[in-house]
Amino acid sequence: MSMRIGLGFDSHAFKPGVPLVIGGLKIDHPEGLAGHSDGDLLLHAITDALLGAVSAGDIGTFFPPSDPKWKGADSTVFLQTALEEIALAGYKIVNIDCVLIMHRPKIVPIAADMRERVADLLSLDLKNVSIKAKTPEGLNHDGTAVAHVVALLESIDLPEEHKKLTAEADVPDEADIDGVFTTLISKTHDITALGRKPAFDTDDLT
C-alpha cells in the first residue's frame, strides 16, 4: 500500500445578494461568496487537495474560469471530477481535515450538517471528515472566507478489491473478472469520462 497527501486552499470575498453555499450546504445568510461558480470555497479546497495528492493539477486545470460553461456551476461537479481522478490514479481517501476561517456566519451551529454533507459527497464515514472553524483574528479578513484542506489517500489494493466486490456481485462463472470489476467501480465513479488532461492552467475559479 502506498499513501499520498494533498493540500488545498481557497478564498472568496463575501458579496451581498447571492446564495451562500459552503461544503455543498446551502446556508441562510444575507451574503454569499463571489465567484465564477457557486463560490463554494470548501469544495474548491477539497477538490484541490485531492487533485494535488495525485499530482493531477488543480481546479483551474479542469475548469478554467475563462470558460463560460462553468459560470454559476455547482461545485459538486468539480469535486466529482477530483474523485474520478484519484480513482483513475488508483487511490481512495483515508480522511480529510478542513479549516474554515471567517467572521460570519458562525460555523459551529451548522458544522454537523456541513460535515454530513461533505462526508456524503465523498462517500466517507463521518469519522473520516473533520471540519474546524476559526475566526480571522488580527488578519483583517472581515470580508473574506478562507478554507484550508489536507487530504490523505491510500492506494487501492486491486486484488483485494476484486475479491470483495466480486464476492458481493452476482457473477456468472465464466464472466471476465476485469470487466466485472470495471463495471462495479463505474457505478461509483464515472470512469468513462476519465483520461482527459487539459492544458495546465493555474487560474482559480473565483
- Cβ at position 183, least distance to Mg ion in Å: 34
Residues between 167 and 206 that touch Mg ion (CB under 5 A): 205
Residues 6+ apart with CB under 8 A from 176: none
CA distance 163 to 180: 11
State which of positions 29-48 bind Mg ion (CB under 5 A).
44
Q: Which is nearer to Mg ion, 150 or 205 (CB)?
A: 205
Contacts of residue 120, Cβ cutoff 8 Å, sequence gap at least 6: none
Q: Does residue 148 belong to the site contacting Mg ion (CB under 5 A)?
A: no
Q: For residue 73, give every residue at least 6 positions away whose Cβ sits within 8 Å of its Cβ, in sequence order, or none.
A: 36, 37, 38, 63
Q: Looking at 5-13, 48-56, 111-119, 151-159, which segment touches Mg ion (CB under 5 A)?
A: 5-13
Closest distance of CB 64 from Mg ion, Å: 13
Among 10, 38, 48, 85, binds Mg ion (CB under 5 A): 10
Residue 178, CA distances (Å) to 156, 161, 166, 174, 188 in order: 15, 11, 10, 12, 16
Segment near Mg ion (CB under 5 A); pick from 8-16, 66-74, 141-149, 190-198 = 8-16
Pattern 92-111, Mg ion, x by CB under 5 A:
--------------------
Segment contacting Mg ion (CB under 5 A): 7-15, 95-103, 142-150, 159-167?
7-15
- Min. distance of Cβ 18 from Mg ion in angstroms? 14
User: Which amino acid would we find at residue 187?
Assistant: K
Grid cell locating 127: 469519522
Closer residue to Mg ion (CB): 46 or 119: 46
**DSSP state, residue 24:** T
Q: Hey, what amino acid is at 148? A: H
Interface residues with Mg ion (CB under 5 A) are 10, 44, 205
